[in-house]
Amino acid sequence: MNLLVINIIGLALIALIIYWFWIYKPKNVQAKDQDVIKIIVEDGVYQPAHISVPVDTEISLEFLRKDETPCAEMVIFPELDISESLQVNKTKSIKLKKLEKGNYQFHCQMQMYKGELVVE
Ligand SMILES: [Cu+2]
């Protein structure tokens, strides 16, 4: 392979790594009382993955799984004792009770998909 092509591929890889670790920020969503937040499960990420919730607020999360790999099958909220299976292209609604201040993680069974509820 020609040296120029190798250099271009190398630079592209470096740019991708910089983007992924320094520039890319998961979307943050601010929820209000009675909000329904739709979360797309696709390409290894929850979108949005960071949800800010005020204390004493009830919200619902609607997970829509687009990823057919078994990795995306479950969504687990360990601190809340919630564990739900998601079907491909079907919306799963999870109603959350009022939460105390703190951070609550949610993830797939292998912890590759990761998200967080920030209650403040
Ligand atoms: Cu997984």
Dist. CA 37 → ligand 1 center (Å): 21
Residue 47 Cα to ligand 1 middle (Å): 15
Whole-model pTM: value is 0.79
Topology of domain 29-119 in CATH is Immunoglobulin-like (2.60.40)
Give me ligand 1 centre to Cα 2, in Å. 39
User: Kind of pairing, strands 114-119 and 36-42?
Assistant: unpaired
pLDDT in tens, 73-93: 999 999 999 999 999 999 999
Position 24 confidence tier, pLDDT thresholds 50, 70, 90: low
Q: What's the mean pLDDT in 2-11?
A: 84
**Mean pLDDT in residue range 31-40:** 96
**pLDDT bracket for residue 25 (50, 70, 90):** low
Domain ranges of the chain: 29-119
